[in-house]
Amino acid sequence: MSRRTIQADAELCPELLDRWRAARRIAVLTGAGVSAESGIPTFRAAQTGLWAQHDPMQLASPEGFAADPTLVWDWYAWRRRLIAEAQPNPGHHALARLGEAHPAFTLITQNVDGLHQRAGSRAVLELHGNITRTICSKTRRPISEDWLARHADSRPPPSPYVADGLARPDVVWFGEALDAAVLDQATRAVQACDLMLIVGTAGAVHPAAGLAAVAHSAGALLIEINPETSALTRLADWHLAGPSAHCLPRLVGALGQ
């Protein structure tokens, strides 16, 4: 099937809705774009993207943390505050409703902001971790909020476990492996799905982006929601060209869910 593009306000074609209703297993992959309308900057937008303004290797790699842990800690503290003040948007809520309505639905996200869960989605597979959790840089054991509050004068706080450890966010940095169990669950979900929805990701970071190719090879129908084209658009059967806070509620409404 060749790709069809549907503009944000155009009618959703009956064939797409029929294919959706016929799907037995649905997998969804989300990226930073789904949180854009909650006021959280994406990574690769030309002017406003986080990686347009900061060097990812300085702020999101083990080497960057070793070189300047205070810089990295302060940057994540700023992002944590931004996320704490943000609210899930209609796109997050629509995905939560889709999950409720469908018996075999897997939501996989590259986002570390926890907004899917705050919108009510359950069993979210977080490929890149969660910024609200903190771990020891050496042992990777969780560090409690209580410990962090008691050591708030240190940026970053020390590890409660080993003398040469520091507190760091529980997110995946460049050069680090994803949690194998989470990646395995995500891979199994996309291998088994007959419909995959890809929302708000540039498809530039692997292995997350590779999940779309796995679903495509397994014969799944692919629907992308993104105002722009992405590295994954060539795999998509339908491209809904608009912001997810607009397109997702429209899709859910058209499906009667």
Residues 161-190 that bind ligand OAD (CB under 6 A): 172
Q: How many helices (H) and strands (E) does the chain have?
A: 11, 10
Beta bridge partners of 129: 171
Tell me the catalytic residues: 128
Amino acid letter, 251? L
Alpha carbon of 47 to those of 44, 53, 91, 211: distances in Å? 8, 8, 23, 28
Minimal distance, residue 231 CB to ligand OAD, in Å: 8
The tokens of 241 are what? 């060209």
- The CB-of-170 to ligand OAD minimum distance in angstroms stands at 12
* Residue 43 or 73 with smaller CB distance to ligand OAD: 43
- Amino acid identity of residue 72, one-letter, is V
Q: Kindly state whether residue 88 participates in binding ligand OAD, applying the rule CB under 6 A.
A: no
Cβ-closest residue to ligand OAD?
Answer: 33
User: Which stretch in 1-9, 78-86, 115-123, 220-228 sits in contact with ligand OAD by CB under 6 A?
Assistant: 220-228
Q: How far apart are CA 235 and CA 220, in angstroms?
A: 10
Does position 38 bind ligand OAD by CB under 6 A?
no
Which range, of 3-11, 99-107, 179-187, 202-210, touches ligand OAD by CB under 6 A? 202-210
Whole-angstrom Cα Rg for the chain: 19
The tokens of 244 are what?
A: 């997810």
- Report the first-to-last Cα separation within the chain, whole angstroms: 27
* Contacts (CB under 6 A) with ligand OAD, residues 43-72: 43-44, 49, 56, 60
Whole-angstrom CA distances from 45 to 14, 56, 82, 233 are 33, 14, 18, 17
- Among 38, 106, 110, 134, contact with ligand OAD (rule: CB under 6 A): 110
Please, what is the minimum distance in Å from the beta carbon of residue 196 to ligand OAD? 15
Binding-site member from 90, 99, 157, 243 for ligand OAD (CB under 6 A): 243
Give the nearer residue to ligand OAD in terms of CB position, either 53 or 144.
53
Query: What's the closest the beta carbon of residue 79 comes to ligand OAD, in angstroms?
Result: 10
DSSP assignment of 4-52, as one string?
EEEETTSPPPHHHHHHHHH-SSEEEEE-GGGGGGGT---SS-TTTSHHH
Which residues of this chain interact with ligand OAD, rule CB under 6 A? 31-33, 36-37, 42-44, 49, 56, 60, 110, 128, 172, 200-202, 204-205, 225-228, 230, 243-244
